[in-house]
Homo-oligomer: A and B are copies of this chain.
Amino acid sequence: MKIALAQINTIVGDVDGNAQKALLFLKEAALKKADLVVFPELTLTGYPPEDLVLKAHFIDRNLEALRAFLPAVKGIVAVIGFVDRDKSGKLYNAAAVIAQGAIRQVYHKQALPNYSVFDEKRYFTPGDQAGLVKICGYKVGINICEDMWEDDGACATQARQGAELIINISCSPYEHNKLQVRQKLLQRRARAAGAPVVYVNLVGGQDELVFDGASMLVSPKGKVLAMGAQFKEELVVCDLAIGGGVAKTLSPLEEIFAAVVLGTKDYIQKSGFKKVLIGISGGIDSAFVAAVAVEAIGKENVTGISMPTRFNAEATKNDARRLARNLGIRFLELPIEKVFKENLGLLSEHFSKEPFGLAEENLQARIRGNLLMAFSNKFGWLVLTTGNKSEMATGYCTLYGDMSGGFAVIKDILKTQVYALSDFYNDRAGKDVIPRSIIKRAPSAELRHDQKDQDSLPPYSELDAILTLYIEDHFSKEAIVKKGFQAEMVSRVVSLVDRNEYKRRQSPPGVKISSRAFGKDWRLPIVNKYKG
């Protein structure tokens, strides 16, 4: 039996486009003599469709698309994801098994994830059918994503009921190291069932999520017989018994880089932009973001703008120019000193008794934000912001300043990871595309004389370790101190994270790469008196 794993890149809400794409892949699978083609979870609606699902007309549209898809399924069996609705109006996250132009069976997802980034209990009713169906003479158990993650879920039941093949259609968002976890799970399930497991995962970016593909066929003994590439749309055709190609697994840094590039590319293109704009400071964050943008949509579509004031060192300004030259992007320089002075003059009547401080620092960042948005409005370029997770966590960033923009590329990447990724990027290029001087210079916002990040924050190596414990693991202050950090430092960091929730709430989305990103999986109140 020949199986085609169609790890396609769908678009949320684009029901007709998704059906069209499924059709193309169906045809290719048929051309390659596949007996069965399998698509990811909620193929027709895209994932996650969120509150679109609450619109009755959206559900209608997806049901119409399913009906229109049926006649094309001839001489092959297809498993496709959609939203089903029963007579009472209840909705199900569903998989249709289609053969000879007709629906042979519909399975309703039983395990509805409602944690982390998932809200499926908001939308769907859990199913209760067995999900067993005959395909090409095999007794096949069909289930959907979370059904496989539950130890005694639908997958286990299907195995007990004699499934000779398990098919799981998924939309499993990427996070660092998740592929290994997923693979082990599939191997465990296959061995427990004594049956091969076919796993088809979505690929592509959707708002803050990116799906990494890497669909698999796992043998009853737990061997990965076939695997699709990570982060690439692909039709993986394999033989149920023999397997097929097994894509090479990316290294940890390659993986994060690929995730950020695809997440950024898809956000830009799926929201209809062709070009992007980045404020290039001469620092590491904007340098890495520019590199990601070039990788995602090509250097000809990226413009960098440097907007120096009196506080920007010559060395930094030169680095900004050098970076732009190395990347081959368009580069503009707009010194903002005069605009800054004009603003200060306007405020002087009211600020004269006050020393230069945060207001004047932020003002510079906000003038820059305004100019970027002026270009964005004028030419239709999307502004990419350059703040990293360490900054987003501690509020070491200016709301309506460097936080202004449509997509926050490295929002979930800690400062120490930005360094590692920049080194990786240069290594891969075989040259210092990101100038070494940028990587070596002590980080500074350059919003006042002789400012260094480390004047306000702990060293990044310690900061990032504390942030990970506090954010990803929900550790208390005491528990973090027990891990060997200084109590006062821990208190300061935790307090910074807590009191900057209001900034994060107004930040643009960015690619999730960690186990807990600031986004759907971080629902902390803004008004919050708990001192963790």
Contact = CB atoms under 8 A, between A and B. Distances in A.
A13 B525 contact: yes
A56 B475 CA distance: 8
A49 interface: yes
A215 interface: no
Contact of A377 (B359, B370, B502, B527): B359
Contacts of A532: 55, 57-58
Interface string A359-388: 110110011011101111110000000000
Contact of A527 (B271, B354, B528): B271
Contact of A528 (B52, B343, B345, B525): B52
Contacts of A266: 527
A181 interface: no
Given A362-B374, A377-B358, A271 B57 contact: no
Contacts of A351: 374, 378
B343 A339 contact: yes
Given A339-B339, A342-B342, A370-B370, A50 B362 contact: no
A334 B348 CA distance: 11
Contacts of A115: 122
B371 A346 contact: yes
A331 interface: no
A119 interface: yes
A371 to B, nearest CB: 7
A516 to B, nearest CB: 9
Given A338-B342, A346-B338, A529-B13, A373 B362 contact: yes
A132 B502 CA distance: 42
Contacts of A206: 525, 527
A437 interface: no
A524 B400 contact: no
A364 to B, nearest CB: 10
Interface stretch (A283-291, A423-431, A503-511): A503-511
A211 interface: no
B523 A51 contact: yes
A257 to B, nearest CB: 21
A484 interface: no
A435 interface: no
B370 A346 contact: no
Contact of A57 (B57, B362, B476, B523): B476
Given A350-B332, A525-B48, A370 B374 contact: no
B370 A51 contact: no
B13 A530 contact: yes
A524 B50 contact: yes
A147 to B, nearest CB: 18
A479 interface: yes
Max chain B C-beta neighbours (<10 A), residue from A49, A267, A342: A342
Contact of A406 (B207, B374, B502): B502
Interface in A235-279: 266-267, 270-271
A469 to B, nearest CB: 12
A12 interface: yes
B57 A479 contact: yes
A17 B49 CA distance: 40
Interface string A116-127: 000101100000
Nearest to A400: B400
30 contacts: A11-B529, A12-B525, A12-B529, A12-B530, A51-B523, A55-B476, A58-B532, A205-B527, A206-B527, A207-B525, A266-B527, A270-B529, A271-B526, A334-B347, A339-B342, A343-B371, A343-B374, A346-B371, A347-B375, A347-B378, A357-B377, A359-B377, A360-B374, A363-B374, A369-B400, A373-B399, A373-B400, A400-B400, A506-B507, A506-B508
Smallest CB-CB A-B distances: 10 pairs: A13-B530, A14-B529, A57-B476, A359-B377, A359-B378, A13-B528, A366-B370, A400-B400, A13-B529, A270-B527
Given A50-B524, A61-B530, A359-B376, 9 more contacts: A51-B524, A58-B532, A115-B122, A342-B342, A347-B378, A359-B374, A369-B400, A370-B370, A502-B508
